[in-house]
Amino acid sequence: MDARLNLFASPTVGKALKHIMAAGKVIKDSPLPAATQELVALRVSQINGCAVCLDMHTKEAAAAGETSVRLNLVAAWREATVYTEAERAALELAEQTTRMTDGAAIRVTDEVWANAAKHFDEEQLTALVLHISFMNMANRMNAVTQQPAGDYVPGQFH
């Protein structure tokens, strides 16, 4: 598959990516646990069908020591026993946020929000919301331009 646009050759994207990458670093360095960040990135990317983000975040998580079992079960996290209650709350919030335009009358339910707030302090919750939003933006940019996946090397963009 060939990309529809070469994002890295675009002066406009180059200028924007400086800010996007800086925002990503702020989220990465936030008090939200790194494992939670990678699991959320994977789940949001699965929902959005973003192969390049799945490639990146699977490899980054594995390089950071995440197990293949946990990585492989993210799509079925509800039935898997390998996630903490906090990770489950983050994954549920990520799913409802990502699917909020799928015709649901309720965007993020009060129950899902309260469960996330039970597991994360205000700063972590803020970082989680930013991270989910950031991943949705990156997924959409990559998916619409059909960026190819498979060649990512851990640490490539950090």
User: Could you tell me the pTM of the whole model?
Assistant: 0.91
CA distance readout (Å), 6 to 21, 68, 119, 152, 154: 17, 31, 40, 16, 21
| CA–CA gap between residue 112 and residue 105 (Å, rounded) | 15
pLDDT digits (tens, 9 = 90+) for 41-94: 999 999 999 999 999 999 999 999 999 999 999 999 999 999 999 999 999 999
Asked whether the beta carbons of 133 and 24 are under 8 A apart, the reply is no
